[in-house]
Amino acid sequence: MTTFDLRTLRLRSGDQARERVEVELEPLVLGGQTYAPRPNPAPAELTVTRASSGTVLELALDVSLEGPCFRCLADAELPLSLRLREYEDTKPDADEMRTEYLEDDRLDVSSWARDAIALALPDQILCRPACAGLCPVCGKDLNDEPHEHVEERTDPRWEKLSQLQRET
């Protein structure tokens, strides 16, 4: 877990500091599949701006998630370019003026990045935008072998109903 101690910066009101940090990221598990972040640890730039009313935290991070495609199970890579911002009031009186990633001037950079990655994910991680997926009948990859099955299979439990339908 990557944390950053803001006390090391010694900022006064109006000051700003930029720091390079290496963010350790845990793999994400979606739909029972594991997606590994690359590179890991990921290089990031943390900017801390001290204002008279509080602290503005910014994190710039480029990372990719690698894992199986949701449709065809081939290798997929999802590049993400994250630009994050949080604010912590000097004297917070409500939860809305606090960031959950800062406690006792220690910023939990790993949790902040993990949550941002999870929020930036699309509905499905695909190997390509037009992935055809797997054939529901034979299981072949429709991207490599596009085909159709001409024979319609009837569930044997419905056979008697099909016979009655043909008789009428």
Q: How confident is the model over 134-157, as pLDDT tens digits?
A: 998 889 999 999 988 876 667 788
Mean pLDDT of 31-58: 93
How far apart CA 87 and CA 85 sit, in angstroms, is: 7
Task: State yes or no: pLDDT of 108 exceeds 80.
Answer: yes
Distances in Å between the Cα of 46 and the Cα atoms of 13, 21, 109 are 18, 7, 9
Q: How confident is the model over 65-87, as pLDDT tens digits?
A: 999 999 999 999 999 999 999 99
**Residue closest to 3 by CA, chosen among 29, 26, 21, 28:** 21
Asked which of 9-18, 19-28, 93-102 is least confident by mean pLDDT, the reply is: 93-102
How far apart CA 7 and CA 168 sit, in angstroms, is: 85
Give the global pTM.
0.79
